A and B are shown apart, each in its own frame.
Chain A
Amino acid sequence: MLKIDNVTMRFGGVVAVNQFSAKIDPGEIVGLIGPNGAGKTTVFNMVTGVYKPTSGDIIFTPNGTSQSIINLRPDQIAQIGICRTFQNIRLFKELTVLDNVFIGSHLRLKSGIFSSVLRLPNYTKQEKAMYEKAKYLLEKVGLYEEKDEKSFSLPYGKQRRLEIARALATDPKLLLLDEPAAGMNPQETQELMEFIENIKEEFDLTIFLIEHHMEVVMGICDRIYVLDQGAHIADGDPLEIQNNPKVIEAYLGVD
């Protein structure tokens, strides 16, 4: 599904990610962990086209055919089926909850701007389907009641779920979640884990997620990559990672 091949990201003198490689197979839930500033979000930013890697390549294989995506724009990457959420929530604040999700499916619209203004049947048909889908996704994440509220007025945990609903509206094959459980209480976290497994099945997704909550990572990930100061230090299944001395060292800061 996704192959990250020896990528390096340098910002001036800072090497945020150093020769990192990873491979994600279809249908997997893969975790990416590491201490603060390890370069996890930077990996996501490279996969979604926000940054172009200084060196290395990223190959995406949504359905049999592979393509390098490092030269694509973020919107093109969303178009071919990679979508994400943001660590520091980025909703369309002034828009309603429903419109936030609705916009997620704008990229699949097959009508031009004038068909939309003239409300030609081929447009309105698609628009109706987009709204249906948005409402369905809102029901799924439990935000249907709030659909007409402005998105900034939602509490933090709900904003995170709204971001996931919006990303799902783009019909991704690969979903990247950047700390989806941040700021959630244990019960919400538990619900989130079930939710992630549930959408993975229903929408036939592959999931790549960054998380600090260890119970989430250990609970739902098939495999885990560990980054420390931009460098790959370990990978494996949750049990292996938990017992890996390098990982323990990185997390506890033992020298």
Chain B
Amino acid sequence: MKDNKIIKYIICVVVAIIAMIFLNFVLDSYKVRVLNLCFIYIILGLSMNLINGFTGLFSLGHAGFMAIGAYTVAILTMTPEMKEMNYYMKPMVSFLQQINMPFIVALIIGGLLAALFGFLIGAPVLKLTDDYLAIATLGFSEIIRVVIINLQSVTNGALGLKGIPQKTNQFFVKLLRDIFGISLSHSINLLWAGIGAIITIVFMFLLMKGSYGKAFKAIREDEIAARSMGVNLFKHKVMSFTIGSFLAGIGGGLLAVSLGTIDPTLFKFSLTWNIILIVVLGGMGNINGTIISAIVVTIAMEALRFLDEPLNLGFIQTPALPGLRMVVFSIILMTVIIFKKDNVLKSTLVKVRGRYAKN
């Protein structure tokens, strides 16, 4: 009975991976990119939901942890020649200049560094009361940005990094060529983000099924009761926060590869806001909801891209309004929050609908 279930899950995962390879062949590169973003936002949404939704902490630092992951991956995977081209204002410190690692190693290092920072920020703050966590994490993610801008010989400052290697699956490409005789013009871009998303989803389900996940939820429900039942609040909060930071770093690293170009402006608060949007829409503490809303938000974000461009409404021509997309999204978010919280509004709406339906 139980073994059957596990086999079912394994089959699901295998099918998903095969589907990804297949999609990578049939979809055009734009669609692959959007799908890739969906996977990345699933990871990011779940990581924030672990901290904010499941454990009831209030962290606003996702962009900072993502920046750490993204810059780590970029710096560790770019070739020395690429780096030389990028760092024309100020040369890179030479030992970093020479480093060139396989993508997956760099990604894991990026995640671990983000986790380390998560621990270093979380530990002092969470020891007090987590009201300060929001402020501390918000401050941290701004500080990280300022550090990145000023640490020019490491991060190339405000110029950003271009030409981050996107062919991250040389191993698979070789495997396919040598064993199946299939040669690919472009790499299997989806695979890492897809595997990352699957691992994150499975990880979250298993974590929440177990005793630690339930202790996280207990902390969210009632801290005083949780600690009186012997749950070490500090230890559990730090665990949740550090794991969440790790996953945020992984998401950031994958994002860097998917974009190919990063710079400090990418990691402003609006990036954290996107993820908050996903978590709130999907439901605090809801894994399935987060997966769905990550996909919906990512696709909608692409589909509504026209809002940022000059609009021709027939009778009026508006100039380009960069940011209009986010305004629309924020309005959607607020509406959702109001409707979720305020049942009065909901029931009024039902009544109004009922009246019009009758007449």
A associates with B:
yes
Asked if A117 and B210 sit within 8 Å, CB to CB, the answer is yes
Asked if B211 and A127 sit within 8 Å, CB to CB, the answer is yes
A residues 157-210 in Cβ contact with B at 8 Å: 166-167, 169-170
**Chain A contacts of B232 at CB under 8 A?**
73, 75
Asked if A74 and B221 sit within 8 Å, CB to CB, the answer is no
Asked if A127 and B210 sit within 8 Å, CB to CB, the answer is yes
* A43 shortest CB reach to chain B, Å: 15
Asked if B212 and A116 sit within 8 Å, CB to CB, the answer is yes
B residues 180-239 in Cβ contact with A at 8 Å: 203, 206-207, 210-215, 217-218, 221-222, 224-233, 239
**Chain B contacts of A170 at CB under 8 A?**
229-230
Whether a CB of chain B sits under 8 angstroms from the CB of A84 is yes
Asked if B222 and A92 sit within 8 Å, CB to CB, the answer is yes
* A75 shortest CB reach to chain B, Å: 5
**Chain A contacts of B222 at CB under 8 A?**
90-93
Stretch of A12-20, A99-107, A231-239 lying at the B interface: A99-107
Q: Of B206, B221, B227, B233, which contacts A92 at CB under 8 A?
A: B221
Residue with the greatest number of chain B CB neighbours at <10 A, chosen from A90, A103, A123, A166 = A103
**Chain B contacts of A104 at CB under 8 A?**
229-230
**Chain B contacts of A102 at CB under 8 A?**
211, 214
Whether a CB of chain B sits under 8 angstroms from the CB of A109 is yes
Asked if A166 and B210 sit within 8 Å, CB to CB, the answer is no
* B220 shortest CB reach to chain A, Å: 8
B243 to A, closest residue via Cβ: A113
Asked if A74 and B228 sit within 8 Å, CB to CB, the answer is yes
Whether a CB of chain B sits under 8 angstroms from the CB of A83 is yes
* A235 shortest CB reach to chain B, Å: 26
Bound-state Cα–Cα, A91 to B218, Å: 9
Asked if B227 and A103 sit within 8 Å, CB to CB, the answer is no
Whether a CB of chain B sits under 8 angstroms from the CB of A8 is no
Bound-state Cα–Cα, A170 to B215, Å: 13
Report if A106-B215 is in contact (Cβ < 8 Å); known contacts: A86-B225, A90-B225, A94-B221: yes
B residues 219-278 in Cβ contact with A at 8 Å: 221-222, 224-233, 239, 243
**Chain B contacts of A107 at CB under 8 A?**
229-231
A residues 136-156 in Cβ contact with B at 8 Å: none
Asked if B229 and A166 sit within 8 Å, CB to CB, the answer is yes
Asked if B224 and A50 sit within 8 Å, CB to CB, the answer is yes
Asked if B228 and A117 sit within 8 Å, CB to CB, the answer is no
A residues 88-128 in Cβ contact with B at 8 Å: 90-95, 99, 102-104, 106-107, 109, 113, 116-119, 123, 127
**Chain B contacts of A69 at CB under 8 A?**
none
Asked if A119 and B231 sit within 8 Å, CB to CB, the answer is no
Asked if A90 and B214 sit within 8 Å, CB to CB, the answer is no
Asked if A113 and B239 sit within 8 Å, CB to CB, the answer is yes
Asked if B230 and A117 sit within 8 Å, CB to CB, the answer is no
Asked if A92 and B210 sit within 8 Å, CB to CB, the answer is no
Residue with the greatest number of chain B CB neighbours at <10 A, chosen from A78, A92, A93, A166 = A92
* B22 shortest CB reach to chain A, Å: 29
**Chain A contacts of B218 at CB under 8 A?**
92, 95, 103, 106
A101 to B, closest residue via Cβ: B229
Q: Of A84, A86, A123, which contacts B210 at CB under 8 A?
A: A123
A residues 45-104 in Cβ contact with B at 8 Å: 48, 50, 73-75, 78-79, 83-84, 86, 90-95, 99, 102-104
Whether a CB of chain B sits under 8 angstroms from the CB of A247 is no
**Chain B contacts of A92 at CB under 8 A?**
217-218, 221-222, 225-226
* A84 shortest CB reach to chain B, Å: 6
Asked if B239 and A79 sit within 8 Å, CB to CB, the answer is no
* B23 shortest CB reach to chain A, Å: 28
Asked if B229 and A130 sit within 8 Å, CB to CB, the answer is no
Q: Of A79, A93, A169, which contacts B221 at CB under 8 A?
A: A93
Report if A48-B228 is in contact (Cβ < 8 Å); known contacts: A91-B222, A93-B221: yes
* A134 shortest CB reach to chain B, Å: 11
**Chain B contacts of A86 at CB under 8 A?**
224-225, 228
Asked if B203 and A117 sit within 8 Å, CB to CB, the answer is yes
**Chain B contacts of A118 at CB under 8 A?**
206
Asked if A75 and B207 sit within 8 Å, CB to CB, the answer is no
**Chain B contacts of A116 at CB under 8 A?**
206-207, 210-213
Bound-state Cα–Cα, A83 to B210, Å: 23
Asked if A95 and B229 sit within 8 Å, CB to CB, the answer is no
* A245 shortest CB reach to chain B, Å: 37
**Chain B contacts of A169 at CB under 8 A?**
229
**Chain B contacts of A123 at CB under 8 A?**
210-211
Asked if A99 and B210 sit within 8 Å, CB to CB, the answer is no
**Chain A contacts of B210 at CB under 8 A?**
116-117, 119, 123, 127
Asked if B228 and A50 sit within 8 Å, CB to CB, the answer is yes
Asked if B229 and A106 sit within 8 Å, CB to CB, the answer is yes
Bound-state Cα–Cα, A113 to B206, Å: 10
The 7 nearest A-B residue pairs measured at CB: A107-B230, A78-B230, A116-B210, A92-B221, A90-B225, A74-B227, A113-B212
What are 6 A-B residue pairs whose CB atoms fall within 8 Å in the complex?
A78-B228, A86-B224, A86-B225, A91-B221, A104-B230, A107-B230
In the complex, besides A106-B212, A106-B218, 13 extra interface pairs with C-beta distance below 8 angstroms are A74-B224, A78-B229, A83-B228, A90-B228, A92-B222, A95-B214, A95-B217, A95-B221, A99-B214, A103-B218, A106-B214, A113-B207, A117-B206
